[in-house]
Amino acid sequence: MVPQSMRRRLVRSIKLRTKIWEPRMKRAPYDHPCQVGDPVLRGVAAPVDPAIIKTDNFQKIIDTMVRVMREEGGVGISAPQLGIGYQIIAMEYTKAHMSIYSDKIIKIREISEVPLTIFINPKMKILDYSKVSWPEGCQSIKGFTAFVDRYQAVQIKGMDREGKRVTCTAEGFPARIVQHEMDHLQGQLYIDIMDSKTFIDEDWMHWNLE
């Protein structure tokens, strides 16, 4: 039989260890992209009330999206990827991004610059239903890519960070970015529509090195 005093010390010790190791979750918007498995990535994002667009808190969400996208070297990001279930996407494709590709690849994949663009409550319309398949990755599924079919050209409408109506037409690679981010707002990831046989770990060769 365990003495009462020892039992009390044991209980206190267990409570202390539990308190010390209790996980603490960050508050959204996160300073990193959520990873696959996080329920927020599978929810349908809610439309934004235009009345809150110019508020400091809402503008901070957009600022965080842009900062994280750039820090991660991404070309697009959605609010759900930072734990915020709002219909917001950001895109940017610079000369620095393009510099890793040869002129031949840039031409074949129809890659072009995309200035920093914000869309709130975006709506997408398909302009060209022909599809093109190229490798695609995601900051919420780090280290992996797969070939994904995407429509050749789309139009996207929504509001910018000032609440003004904006419309953009995208073809080729920019159209791929738009479709990828729009999928996030519907709780869909590229792995849901990828060619599963092309799904790879980008560092697969590293695991075989001596």
Please tell me the distance from the alpha carbon of residue 21 to that of residue 31, in angstroms, as a whole number. 22
Please tell me the distance from the alpha carbon of residue 62 to that of residue 29, in angstroms, as a whole number. 9
Q: Which of 72, 113, 162, 181 is catalytic?
A: 181
DSSP SS3 for 135: strand
Please tell me the distance from the alpha carbon of residue 203 to that of residue 95, in angstroms, as a whole number. 25
- Tally of CB atoms within 10 A around 168: 16
- Record the tokens describing residue 139, joined without a space: 């900051």
Which helix (H) or strand (E) segment holds residue 58: the answer is helix 56-71
| 136: annotated active-site residue | no
Active site residues: 181
